[in-house]
A and B are shown apart, each in its own frame.
Chain A
Amino acid sequence: MKTLIQKDLRENLKVALIGLLIFSLLLMQAYGSCASMLANALRGNWSGQVNSLQPLLSQSLLVPAAFFCALFGAALGWLQTRNEAHRDLWAFLIHRPLTRTEIFWGKTVAGLCLYVFGAGLPVLVLILVVRQPGHVAAPFEWEMTVPLVTIFLTGIAYYFAGLLTGLRQARWWVSRSFGLGPAIVASFGTFALPDFWMVYVLLLIVVVILATAAWGAYQSGGWYLGQPVAGKLALIISLAVGCAIVLLAGVGLTSGLLIQPFVKTSYEYSYYQMTREGEVYKVTMRDNETAEIVDLDGHPLMDPKTGQRMDRKAFQMLTAYGGTVITSLDRPLPHRNLIEDSGRFFNLLNITDKTLWYLDRHGKLVGYDGRSRKFIGTLEGHGFNGVVAADQFLLHPGGNYYYSYYNSYTDVPRKMLVSAKTVYQVDFKERSVRPVFTLTNDDEIGGYVANEVATDGNQVKKLLLTTRRTVQLLDSEGRSLLELPYQPGFAKYPQVELTYLPSTNLLPTYAVWFFPDGELNQRAHWTMPIQVRWIGPDQAITKTAELPTLQTDGTESWSSKLMPALLLPPLLHMELNRKMVSAWNLLNYAVAAMLAAIAWQLVRRHNASVKAGLGWTLFVFVLGIPGLLTLLVVQEWPVRETCPECQKPRAVDREDCEHCAATFAPPEKNGTEIFAPLVKT
């Protein structure tokens, strides 16, 4: 086997070298574009994704890398097999005192080594370069390598898919590549699954399935028949996934091109908005029509100037400003998938004097010199001292994604940052941190937002913060403008919105909205109301209201129900439809049962055992159309000939007729036969 590995290494080295070259160039290019983003940021004319400053997290690096690893892995596997799958060269490979499994492993070990060489080496070099101080003016942690390494590992799934595709024999050429299906799913999983451990579990499953399918293909020379059961199952699963993807793409394309233009999609969503007078209106958006604006009693709001119903644009002029805080106390960290995870490590808060100030995920305010690209120190509660601070700032609560965009227009040298107890005024120019407000009791700050509010023509910076017990509004010097109890509590109502109502008698008044937690509300069947409090000039509650939650209640049209019912496998359709028995589900079951019946017919007609027939029938029933497609794609259908005995068509791969049990007749004699015993004369 060692010889075989050496031979394959030597044979495919060229492919790996080309891959190495392309990937290196690709990574260098991405690295370069990250560097130019830094240069732009330092010049002050850049606004964009903060991740771009750390190449390991940059989308402009991860996305091309994902494409490259997929293509390279698949190409390597495909070429490695394809080069040798010519009839006689394949015979040369197979005909030696090795088991097919040994040959498979010989190939695979060599292929994976080459993959690691071609794709892994550039990744390693990039990580080492990035890690080296002076190259990247952004924080580095080993965990930041996880996204890129995951993408690299996903390529292994493509490698096995390539191996399988290169060898698979199929009448229908396109179906040879269906093995790529699971690998594509793994790729999507990498970017879309909520947690990294899920990505790895998925990847592991996909690799095992594809490797088994490829191994099975080596057992039988690429045919379905003659494989061990494990290989057959793995092949069936792989192709089922491939079929499902093709089907989904096909349906998406059809509905996009043929159905969408003719069907009016009806969507509708509503939200509340408050005018500067403190009146609440319900705005409903429908399709592409203009919004409908009604008061809480349902009367439409009229435009006094035109006498018509007011449109949204005019209404916007009347609405009040507000700020929203999400209280993140006692809440689990947000999910850590590839995209969100890349935004989770740090936020860029400020660029002053060519110094980039990041708030990293540990709550430290770290500075990097943009020119030397080196770490220069941290800012902490007691001033700049060039060492890592012990005090933690709160991360911006709610949706890291939003905050991962840096907006150069809001770049001001002073900013308010908050720790669990204290509000600080951070001056990036002076590199000083000054406490302006501290909770003196055992309370704890749970979320904050800084707002620029125009009151009486002046832009004033205000800080809205929530604690375990209170909602407070501070001015930029930490003076309390408003303090009221957090009622109802943050556990059920984590989202607080403060609306600034410029009152007529020059004293500020406010309205406070408490929004229920979406998940809890859904579980309570949307019965948790939105609580609104109007606060008078003396900070007393003048009025309260409970507004029903406006959930978008997907009122779908029949056309959007029909397609899934016809096309989706029952397993998925049931999951989407929730209710076991509904008209759509029944239709779906009926379709599945019909498909299953077709599968049974097909399989039985072509000489399969009852066991295989039942298996396939169940498979098709559960998976629906993709299942049936898989059956058609996987099975090698024997030709049928008319049985000379019973005149019925019989499969040629049986020893006897399935109808009358007649064996096949020996070839008809034509009188020219010359047979004699083979004995030495």
Chain B
Amino acid sequence: MPITFNIKTGSTTPIYKQITDQVRLGVSTGRLAVGDQLPSVRALAEELVVNPNTVARAYGDLMREGLLESRAGRGVFITQKRKVFSRAEGWRRLEPLLEQLIGEAMILDFTREELRAAFEEKLAKWKQPEGGKSDE
């Protein structure tokens, strides 16, 4: 299995959202490729010890987003990735993470240059996702 889900209860993020987020992350980092199969609703529910309806809801959301497709009798697969978030939504999600990153770096006494260099270095290791950024 190309992805290991990690579910936390008591989080501010509901479980179905944790699942969708982790699938999205997997896709965006390339750990999940088009055509990869995900566990069935039942299997994932029992593996994660969560209500199958929760898994079904997460899968349903991902299907609506076009990230997953269900092939009758065979299972659930990653499909051709389409744009998931609007640009505005993307920024809304990215912003707090950036703030947290910069804040932590400042507390740890990194200079702006050091931070920039490290950021570039890390970024270089990620493969360019297909489609890339184009519009807006």
Which A645-681 residues have C-beta < 8 A from chain B? 680-681
Cα A250 to Cα B60 in complex, Å, equals: 77
Interface presence of B128 (CB below 8 A): no
Considering only CB atoms, which chain A residue lies closest to B53 in the complex?
A: A680
When distances are taken between beta carbons in the complex, the residues of chain A under 8 Å from B60 are 681
Q: Is the interface of A mostly helix, strand, loop or mixed?
A: loop
Closest partner residue, chain A, to B16 (CB atom): A681
B81 at the interface (CB under 8 A from A): no
Task: Report the interface size for chain A: residues with CB under 8 A from the other chain.
Answer: 2
In the bound complex, how far is the Cα of B54 from the Cα of A681, in angstroms?
Answer: 9
* Residues 163-194 of chain A, each 1 if its beta carbon lies under 8 Å from chain B, else 0: 00000000000000000000000000000000
* B contact residues vs A (CB 8 Å cutoff): 53, 57, 60
Residues of B within 8 A of A680 (CB): 53
Could you tell me the distance between the alpha carbons of A680 and B57 in the complex, rounded to whole angstroms? Answer: 9
What's the dominant secondary structure at chain B's contact region?
helix
Within 8 A of B (CB), among A592-624: none
- When C-beta atoms are compared, the residue in chain B nearest to A681 turns out to be B57
Complex Cα gap A157–B54 (Å):
60
Q: How far apart are A681's CB and chain B's nearest CB, in angstroms?
A: 5
Give bound CA distance, A602 to B121, whole Å.
Answer: 89
* Shortest Cβ-Cβ A-B pairs, 4 listed: A681-B57, A680-B53, A681-B60, A681-B53
Set of chain A residues within 8 Å of B53, measured between Cβ atoms: 680-681
Given the complex of chains A and B, what is the CA–CA distance between A681 and B57 in angstroms? 6
CB distance from A107 to the nearest CB of B (A): 41
- State the CA gap A680–B60 with chains docked (Å): 12
* B15: min CB distance to chain A, Å: 13
For B57, the chain A residues whose CB sits under 8 A away are 681
A681: which B residues are within 8 A, CB to CB?
53, 57, 60
Q: How far in angstroms is the closest Cβ of chain A from B50?
A: 14
Chain A residue nearest to B60 in the complex (CB): A681
Expressed in whole angstroms, the Cα–Cα distance for A680 and B54 within the complex equals 10
Which residue of chain A is the closest to B61 with respect to CB atoms?
A: A681
CA distance A433 to B57 in the complex (A): 112
| Bound CA–CA A335/B53 (angstroms) | 82
Complex-state Cα separation, A256 to B135, whole angstroms = 108
* A306 vs chain B, min Cβ distance (A): 110
Q: Shortest Cβ distance from A163 into chain B, in angstroms? A: 46
What is the CB-to-nearest-CB distance from B18 to chain A, in angstroms, rounded to a whole number? 16
Q: List 4 A-B contacts (CB under 8 A).
A: A680-B53, A681-B53, A681-B57, A681-B60
Q: How far is the CA of A681 from the CA of B58 in the complex (A)?
A: 10
Q: Nearest chain-B residue to A680 (Cβ)?
A: B53
**Closest Cβ of chain B: how far from A82's Cβ, in Å?**
42
Inter-chain CA distance A680–B53, complex, in Å, is 8
Least CB separation from B57: chain A residue: A681
A677 to chain B, nearest CB (A): 15
How far apart are A680's CB and chain B's nearest CB, in angstroms?
Answer: 6
Q: How far is the CB of B65 from chain A (nearest CB, A)?
A: 15
State the CA gap A681–B53 with chains docked (Å): 8
> CA of A681 to CA of B51 in the docked complex: distance in angstroms?
13
A678 to chain B, nearest CB (A): 12
Question: What is the 8 Å Cβ interface bit string for chain A, positions 123-140, against chain B (1 contact, 0 not)?
Answer: 000000000000000000
Instruction: State the Cβ distance, A529 to closest chain B Cβ, in Å.
Output: 102
In the complex, what's the smallest C-beta–C-beta distance from A580 to chain B, in angstroms? 79
The CA of A681 and the CA of B59, in the complex, are separated in Å by 11
CB distance from A227 to the nearest CB of B (A): 42
Complex CA distance for A94 and B78, rounded to whole angstroms: 53
Q: How long is the Cα–Cα vector from A295 to B65 in the complex, in angstroms?
A: 128
Chain B nearest CB, measured from A659 CB (Å): 49
A64-79 toward B: CB 8 Å interface, digit per residue (1/0)? 0000000000000000
Contact with B along A243-270 (1 / 0, CB 8 A): 0000000000000000000000000000
Nearest-neighbor residue (CB-CB) of B56 within chain A: A680
Alpha-carbon separation in the docked complex, A681 to B55 (Å): 11
Cα(A231)–Cα(B53), bound, Å: 49
Bound together, the chains give a CA A494 to CA B57 distance in angstroms of 104
Measured in the bound complex, the distance between the Cα atoms of B53 and A480 in whole Å is 116
